[in-house]
Every structure is written in structure tokens, then in C-alpha cells.
């Protein structure tokens, strides 16, 4: 699939290579009308220019909807983080940071994404030479690490806002989480604390289903000790892909892109899907689910906690202020999108896009 260009962007597509380290990287700056492009560094062996471009566009809408002074961007490094040494990973990240100095931080501010976290952001800042070039850094160099759970916390707030809007009680609602990394881990924590019942969870080793409802503390301990949720005693185990066919009220997507497509829409039994991960499906599949009566809260609404946290760090706020800001913005934006969708009888994505697009286009006119 090729990159889609339109009046919004992308403004720049950059591919970089370093012969010494073997680093192969991608940067897509989608739109900077509202400010420098903001977006994380994704490190996978399969990341492509097209995938990074789609993610950059999602960031454009996400920042606009959250009313942050950022545009949209994203970057990717083609490498397998699970097979290289820590030293090699540092070399690659720092080669990438040096290669992006012409763009970062002037038109691109980096951050963590798949297989990159606070340590990688420290390496990036060191090599770039400017702490403002990246967010999600360790606290001892002025950062607010994403490991604190800002994205998962925001996903939980979005979910609870949807339930409140639909007049559903959390205590009478079952949910499942696709992916038990940083986002899924914290979303599950905050939602079980709110009284929701977690009946299925997946990771790269498989899907664990427990109809009685997982004990979150036990699940977190088992994941840490055994390295997989499939070690949970008494759970039924299926393959990872089976997560989309489990029966529950709410699906929280929290890991891989393109989790399901339009052909899978018929098999999905959820009443609500909260997109905690980026681009978990296509707009066509979402429209099909909307016609079936499934409420899908799009990624750039539901998982904006991470970029709101990035803004808090960039603006010099502390951890407490960050969580307060995430809750305020996620709750307000979710309500606004749901009200707009109901009023105009359109899908939540269409409603959210209308709001975000208007803000970006107005900024482009002023520029």
C-alpha cells in the first residue's frame, strides 16, 4: 500500500541509513500547522513507510483533538528489538537521533512507541544534544516516563466516559484487553479498580480467557514472573488471534496495528471497542461495525493520554499535573465526540475527524 498524500500532508517523508551501525530509519512529518510534529519511535523488523505515514496522520488528528500545540509525525526504525543486544540498540537509536538532527526538535519531537521506552529516550536526547527533541525521558533528566501509565490511564478514562454516556455501570460490564504491554497493563489496572470484570487478555504467547474474571494483582504478578498471561492458573488458552472472537461487552485494543479488518467485523461480538492501540483496524471496518450498532471509539481519541503526557513534560509540568490534565482532556474530548456523533447520526470516528480537521485547516489558513 502506498502513502496517501492530500491537502493535510505529509509534509516530509525522510528515510535515513547509517552504514556503521546498519540503522535503517523512517520519519514522516505529516502536518505542522499547529506546531512541531509529535510522534513516537516504533522499532520493529516489519515497520514500513506506509505504516509510519498512517501513524503520523493519526498523530495529526490526535494532537488537534486534544488541543495541543503540536502537529503530527511518527518515526520508525527497522530492527528486531528482541534479538539485538542493549549495546547494539543504543548504537542504532543514537545513530537515528543524529540523522534526524536537521528535523528534531525544530519540526519533529520524538517519544516512545513500540519497543522503545524511557531509556531509549535518554539515548536519543544524548545523541541529539537537545532535551526538547524528545519526551518520555527518565525523570532524572526532566522527563515524565510513559512507564507511569499515562496512555493506559487515558484509555481507562475514555472507557469509563463511554459507559457513563451509555448509562452502563462498570460493575455490570465485562471487558477484554488485547496486549498486556504498557497500555494494556495500566488500562486493565484502572478499569478493574473501577469495578469492571476482565474476562480475557492476550499477549504474544496467546490468549487467556477466564470467565470468572481475572484477579488483576495475580495476573500482573504472573506476567512479570512467567513472562506471559497464558500462565494464569485455570484460564482457557487459545492463540493470540482468538482475542477478537471472545464474547464480552468491551474490547480494549492495546498492542498491534491492523488487529482486525472488514472481513472480521461479522465475527466481532463486542458492544463497545476502545482503540487503545494505534490503527488497530481500517476505517472501512469501523464503518461496518457502526452499521451493526457497535460503538468504536477511535485511537486518536482513546489513546491520547501518551501525547498529553508528552505535552505536560514539554511544558514543564509534574507527574500529578500530568495525570490531572490527561483525565480532563480525555473525558472532555470523548464526551464531545460522542455528542457530535449522536447529534449528526454519524460514527464516532467521522465526528472526531470533523472536529480535528477543522482545527488543522483553520491553523493552515492562518499560517
What is the Cα–Cα distance from 189 to 91, expressed in whole angstroms?
Answer: 35
Active-site residue identified among 62, 74, 90, 329: 74
The answer to whether 43 touches 76, Cβ cutoff 8 Å, is yes
Q: Can 101 be counted among the known catalytic residues?
A: no
Phi/psi zone of residue 13: left (φ > 0), alpha (ψ -120 to 50 degrees), beta? beta
The residues, any chain, with a CB within 8 Å of residue 172's CB and separated by 6 or more, are: none
SS3 for the chain is CCCCCCCCCCCEEEEEEECCCCEEEEEEEEECCCCCEECCEEEECCCCHHHHHHHHHHHHHHHHHCCCCCEEEEEEEECCCCCCCHHHHHHHHHHHHHHCCCCCCCCEEECECCCCCHHHHHHHHHHHCCHHHECCCCHHHCCCCHHHCHHHHHHHHHHHHHHHHCCCCHHHCEEEEECCCHHHHHHHHHHHHCCCEEEEEEECCEEEECCCCCCHHHHHHHHHHHCCHHHCCCCEEECHHHHHHCCCCEEEECCCCCCCCHHHHHHCCCCEEEECCCCCCCHHHHHHHHHCCCEEECHHHHCCHHHHHHHHHHCCCCHHHHHHHHHHHHHHHHHHHHHHHHHHCCCHHHHHHHHHHHHHHHHHHHC
- Lookup result for grid cell 505529509: 10
CA within 13 Å, CB half, 39: 34
The answer to whether 77 touches 110, Cβ cutoff 8 Å, is no
Residues known to be catalytic: 74
Amino acid at each position: 500500500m502506498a502513502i496517501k498524500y492530500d491537502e493535510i500532508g505529509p509534509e516530509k517523508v525522510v528515510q535515513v541509513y547509517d552504514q556503521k551501525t546498519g540503522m535503517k530509519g523512517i520519519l514522516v512529518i505529516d502536518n505542522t500547522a499547529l506546531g512541531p510534529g509529535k510522534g513516537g519511535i516504533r522499532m520493529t523488523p516489519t515497520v514500513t513507510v506506509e505504516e509510519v505515514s498512517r501513524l503520523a496522520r493519526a498523530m495529526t488528528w490526535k494532537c488537534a483533538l486534544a488541543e495541543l500545540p503540536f502537529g503530527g509525525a511518527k518515526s520508525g526504525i527497522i530492527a528486531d528489538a528482541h534479538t539485538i543486544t542493549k549495546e547494539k540498540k543504543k548504537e542504532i537509536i543514537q545513530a537515528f537521533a543524529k540523522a534526524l538532527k536537521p528535523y528534531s526538535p525544530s519540526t519533529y519531537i520524538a517519544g516512545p512507541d513500540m519497543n522503545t521506552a524511557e531509556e531509549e529516550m535518554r539515548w536519543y536526547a544524548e545523541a541529539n544534544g537537545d532535551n526538547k527533541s524528545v519526551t518520555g525521558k527518565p525523570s532524572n533528566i526532566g522527563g515524565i516516563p510513559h512507564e507511569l501509565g499515562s496512555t493506559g490511564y487515558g484509555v481507562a478514562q475514555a472507557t469509563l466516559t463511554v459507559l457513563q454516556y451509555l448509562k452502563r455501570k462498570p460493575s455490570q460490564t465485562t471487558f477484554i484487553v488485547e496486549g498486556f504491554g504498557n497500555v494494556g497493563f495500566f488500562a486493565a489496572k484502572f478499569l478493574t479498580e473501577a469495578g469492571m470484570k476482565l474476562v480475557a487478555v492476550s499477549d504474544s504467547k496467546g490468549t487467556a480467557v477466564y470467565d470468572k474474571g481475572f484477579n488483576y494483582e495475580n495476573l500482573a504478578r504472573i506476567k512479570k514472573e512467567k513472562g506471559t498471561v497464558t500462565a494464569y492458573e485455570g484460564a482457557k488458552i487459545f492463540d493470540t488471534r482468538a482475542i477478537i472472537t471472545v464474547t464480552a461487552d468491551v474490547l480494549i485494543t492495546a498492542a498491534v496495528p491492523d488487529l482486525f479488518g472488514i472481513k472480521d467485523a461479522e465475527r466481532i461480538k463486542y458492544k463497545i471497542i476502545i482503540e487503545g492501540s494505534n490503527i488497530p483496524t481500517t476505517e472501512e471496518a469501523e464503518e461496518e461495525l457502526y452499521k451493526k450498532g457497535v460503538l468504536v471509539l477511535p485511537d486518536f481519541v482513546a489513546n491520547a493520554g501518551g501525547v498529553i503526557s508528552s505535552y505536560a513534560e514539554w511544558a514543564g509540568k509534574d507527574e500529578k499535573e500530568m495525570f490531572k490534565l490527561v483525565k480532563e482532556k480525555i473525558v472532555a474530548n470523548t464526551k464531545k465526540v460522542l455528542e457530535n456523533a449522536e447529534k449528526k447520526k454519524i460514527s464516532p470516528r467521522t465526528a472526531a475527524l470533523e472536529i480535528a480537521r477543522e482545527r488543522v485547516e483553520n491553523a493552515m489558513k492562518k499560517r
